[in-house]
Amino acid sequence: MLLIAGLGNPGPTYAKNHHNIGFMAVDEIARRWGFPAARSRFHAQVAEGKIPTPQGDVRTLILKPQGFYNESGRAVGEALKFFKLQPSDLVVFYDEIDLAPGRFRMKTGGGAAGNNGIRSITAQVGPDFRRARLGTGHPGHKDLVHGHVLSDFHKVDLKWVEPLIEACADAAPLLAAGEDEKYQTEVMRLAPAEKVDPRKLARSGGAGGGGEP
């Protein structure tokens, strides 16, 4: 079984925030693969379905914590424990300010890099889960980060936001098969985005973003 969690803040006030691109991505995965309507469970909105792979369908739980972003670990930890899953069975989709807008990177393990949602999950399940990092850009100075992540995407951003979340959904069979490197490559093939130093973009009045590791 695969547990896919998206990070965001619940409610319409936050729905279009940079911080909610994780919610957007997992919603699109659920839609693309015909998951039934979500229901309340584990202090989250949960939808269960299947994602096809060459080896057969993979039972998948899509989870959107309904506490606030910084408390995401409670819901994720409860679901992981209930289904007796390992951290390697967990993929977390979330916004990454240290990637340029539209860039996408998979990684397993590591630190929280200042992301309190990831810190919350790590406190519950340890660091060794899979991370799907959706680049949303950096405002250029650390004092501006809070306002940036809680601000809405502009209309001009939709030209990369929509292709990115659609690519995450279309390529999901690779994710379900555990082929994280191939999944990353396919997402970027379907939704290419330029690799740039977005801190320089932010200073020059561009889209903003973060350096790419």
Positions annotated as catalytic residues are 19
Residue 93 in 3-state DSSP? Answer: strand
Q: Which of 70, 23, 28 is nearest to 45 (CA)?
A: 23
Q: Which H/E stretch holds residue 62? A: strand 58-65
Tokens standing for residue 15: 């729905």
Report the distance separating Cα 17 and Cα 21, nearest Å. 7
Burial of 130 (0-12, 13-18, 19+ CB in 10 A): buried
DSSP 8-state class, residue 147: H
Ordered alpha helix ranges (H), the chain: 21-32, 72-82, 116-125, 145-149, 158-170, 172-176, 180-190, 198-203
CB 157, CB 135: distance < 8 Å: no
Q: Which of 115, 157, 116, 110 is nearest to 136 (CA)?
A: 157
